[in-house]
Amino acid sequence: MNNQDNTNMSSWERIQSGVRETERLIGQKKYNMAMIKARQTLEYMVKCLCEKSGITEGSLIDMIDALYEEETISKTTCEHYHKIRTIGNKAIHEEDNSAYNANQAHHLLSQEVYTFANDYSERRKKTPAPKRRPTEDTGRKSGRTESSRRRRAYSSGPSIDPGSIIKPILLIAIIIVLLFIIKMIRPAQTDVAESTAPSVATETMAPSQEDTTEAETETEQAAAVMYRTTDTLNVRPAPSTDDARIGVLAPDTEVEYVGDYDEQWAIIMFNGQEAYVSKEFLTPAS
């Protein structure tokens, strides 16, 4: 019995270590490694559940589906497991390095580790001892004994560690605050850049058609904004990692910057057409 308890404690510590390591990698902006670590931790947790449920180990997707079919996990947990698995596969096979996907994988993993600890522990699977029917001689006394046993059984249930609840909530709050700060800083930088732009004095005389054509040509040339890549960057035909990449840009490659698509994606000119890349790895060319 002691050997089994030690094995369970070691498995639980290994799962907790995987969650902490995923959080540490995100803090170091190693998003690709964080997503891979989250998938590895999920796979180990799934194998533990399969071992408890007597399910033969196989591929990760088959084990998750088998746990759901055996009603060992809920539908929501099954969907979360597959989401973490999908994000990890993209990190492994497509070299995805998205901060959003890494944080999503960590959030889902933290939530399901808490569920694993409270809903699927060995203590929940223990069957209660059979109740002994009171005899006529000991009716009232036995009734009191059975009642006290039931009260002790209810009071000795598994306790919830407040730290395991507070930690994921704090992490989510920190991520929300950081995203809000980034959103507030970027418009402020745009306003400063616009306010410091030199004003151009206008002449009272109407420009000729020739001057207007030359001015429009100069404006089109000046409108081409050049950025350079800070790391190897995948080029995609649409703003989504689900679309196959159409090219790869090496570090320190200058590209023509068209504009922002949203807070995560930027539009560039690639082989004479508009394409999409992650904004995180672009910086204005000096």
Give the Cα separation of 255 and 224 in Å (integer): 10
* Domains by residue range for the chain, with CATH: 2-125+163-179 (1.20.120.330), 221-286 (2.30.30.40)
> How confident is the prediction for the chain on average, in pLDDT?
78
Q: Sign of torsion, CA 267 268 273 277?
A: negative
Output the tens digit of pLDDT for each of the chain's 286 residues: 444 444 445 788 889 899 999 999 999 999 999 999 999 999 999 998 998 889 988 899 999 999 999 999 999 999 999 999 999 999 999 999 999 999 999 999 999 888 888 766 554 444 444 445 544 444 454 455 555 555 554 444 455 666 677 888 888 999 999 998 998 887 666 665 555 555 544 444 555 566 655 655 555 555 678 888 988 888 998 988 888 888 989 988 989 888 898 888 999 989 889 999 988 888 888 7
* pLDDT computed for residue 216 by the predictor: 58
Cβ-contact 34, 22 below 8 angstroms: yes
Tokens 């522990």 map to which residue?
A: 121
Which residue in 257, 284, 228, 245 sits closest to 97, CA to CA? 245
* pLDDT computed for residue 187 by the predictor: 67
Give the Cα separation of 195 and 68 in Å (integer): 58
280 CB-near residues (< 8 Å, 6+ apart): 99, 264
Amino acid residing at 178: L
* pLDDT computed for residue 205 by the predictor: 52
Tokens 């089994």 map to which residue?
A: 4
Q: Sign of torsion, CA 242 244 250 256?
A: negative
Listed in order, strand segments (DSSP E) in the chain are 225-229, 233-235, 247-249, 254-260, 265-270, 273-278, 282-284
Token pair for residue 147? Answer: 């009642």
* DSSP character string of 16-43: HHHHHHHHHHHHTT-HHHHHHHHHHHHH
Cβ-contact 46, 80 below 8 angstroms: no
* pLDDT computed for residue 12 by the predictor: 83
Cβ-contact 246, 275 below 8 angstroms: yes
